[in-house]
Amino acid sequence: MITVFGIIFNKKDNNTSLKVVKNNTLIQINNPNWQFYNKYFLKLCDMSIHIGKIIEGLVEDKRLTQKEFGNLINKHEKTVPDIFKRSTIAVDLLIAISNALKVDLFSFYYQEEPLKSLRNDEITILNNENDRLHNVIRQLEKDLVQKDKLINSQEEYITIAKERMAEYKKKEQ
């Protein structure tokens, strides 16, 4: 899975690089193959979500004043209307607002492409891994039952062997 982290444009030499998170590692791709990445960037930039309006609606639903909302997110009340006007928002601010309003605001982005497909792919992978682990657990449970049966059989054998040894010792005396 590849998650877009940022685009870097160097004005001096007109080089472009792409920062992505791949397998939980931040990597930089210099002069990336834009035909591959552009389809995701264009869709990400073209999302019809207006996060500011969503936030404004949630603030109104919770009957918070702009001052109260600003205090919750450590922003001055005069900056709150600017947040409501934003169609995009920084991730750290979105996290702060999500925490303050007790709402997962990222979920709105997962309802639209390309994040919807990426999320569905992740869910499919996790479900497959979950199924695989359940199968492993079932097999381990079966193995445990077999081992318990073997232990019981061995205990019975040991009991019989002890009884026969005791009988043999009685005969010797």
- For CA atoms 72, 77, 79, 82, give the dihedral sign: positive
CB 15 within 8 A of CB 31: yes
Q: How confident is the model at residue 171 (pLDDT cuts 50, 70, 90)?
A: confident
pTM of the predicted structure, to 2 decimals: 0.50
Using a pLDDT cut of 90, give the percent of the chain over it.
51
Q: Which of 19-23, 61-65, 70-74, 151-155 has the lowest mean pLDDT?
A: 19-23
Q: Tell me, what's the pLDDT at 16?
A: 53
Q: Tell me, what's the pLDDT at 115?
A: 79
Q: Report the side by side order of strands in the sheet with 15-22.
A: 2-10, 15-22, 25-30
- Classify burial at 51, counting beta carbons within 10 Å of its beta carbon; exposed 0-12, middle 13-18, buried 19 or more: buried
Looking at domain 51-111, what is its CATH homologous superfamily?
lambda repressor-like DNA-binding domains (1.10.260.40)
Considering only CA atoms, give the Rg of the chain. 31
Q: How many Cβ atoms sit within 10 Å of the Cβ of residue 88?
A: 12
- How far apart CA 131 and CA 134 sit, in angstroms, is 5
Higher pLDDT, 129 or 43: 129
Q: How confident is the model at residue 8 (pLDDT cuts 50, 70, 90)?
A: very low
Mean pLDDT score, 115-139: 92
| pLDDT tens track for 28-77 | 555 555 444 444 444 444 456 788 999 999 999 999 999 999 999 999 99
The values of phi and psi at residue 4, to 5°, are: -70, 130
Angle value at C-alpha 22, between 132 and 35, nearest 5 degrees: 115
Domain residue ranges of the chain, discontinuous segments joined by +: 2-45, 51-111, 113-173
